[in-house]
Copies of this chain bind each other. A is one copy, B any other.
């Protein structure tokens, strides 16, 4: 099976490496000139990875075309542009968009794809760069179930828990549920840490005691530890969490779904961006809550 991948960022590059390692004949492209060529040159697996000039070029060489870019407009440009996937893809090909984008834009793209006798799967992931490198991503899929089954070996090269959620857009909706929870669980840890610090508690002792009980979360275990260690390096960047929360709130707005908690976190994370720290990890939200409470950074 010929596989194409468009987007060689911090997620796309390790995903492409795992596809090559799994033995797929892989063609790649990305926006930055020269980047696809140097990526292809450094991969030593057989068959060799091929660099293409454009998404259309990737598509014409592939049965399955994966996109891993940032946001809805990026996927739309990659799919519908003059040199886009739709311009080059052979009928019967499958596009798997693994970016996190709008469920509604996904439905529109899937419908455009169908009109061109292409299949579209939305398959956003969670697990971050670590999951992408280890090939252990959680993959949430929307679209035709039989198409998913045909593409499963491709997805299995990149992820472990692959779940079909329903028609086009359902994978994106599931991913947004994930992002609502990561956002609120993050605020949960920040407020508890600041309350604890104000009360004079030893935060490592607190972390150890509370991870064992009903307050526990992945956010407490992983991000809480980073807050205590004052490690603000990104596991997941604030600006990407904000992009995802905007998707959540736009989608919720369209369906008249009030999400007061998710909206609050979106507002508070804007204070991190206002400081020019949008590339920091989401755990840097604790600095905002500390500042509100009059604590030194």
Contacts and interface: CB of A to CB of B under 8 A. Distances in A.
Give the number of copies in the complex: 2
A296 interface: no
A45 interface: no
A178 B255 contact: no
A204 B240 CA distance: 27
Given A208-B163, A264-B260, A195 B180 contact: yes
Interface SS of chain A: helix, strand, loop or mixed? Answer: helix
Contact of A200 (B170, B208, B209, B289): B170
Interface residues of A, number: 72
Interface string A137-151: 010100000000000
Interface centre among A189, A255, A261 (most CB of B within 10 A): A261
A32 interface: no
Contact of A213 (B127, B262, B292, B294): B127
B181 A201 contact: no
Interface string A118-151: 0000000011100000000010100000000000
16 contacts: A165-B201, A165-B202, A166-B200, A170-B199, A174-B206, A176-B195, A177-B192, A178-B215, A184-B184, A185-B188, A214-B236, A215-B218, A217-B217, A217-B218, A217-B219, A256-B293
A69 interface: no
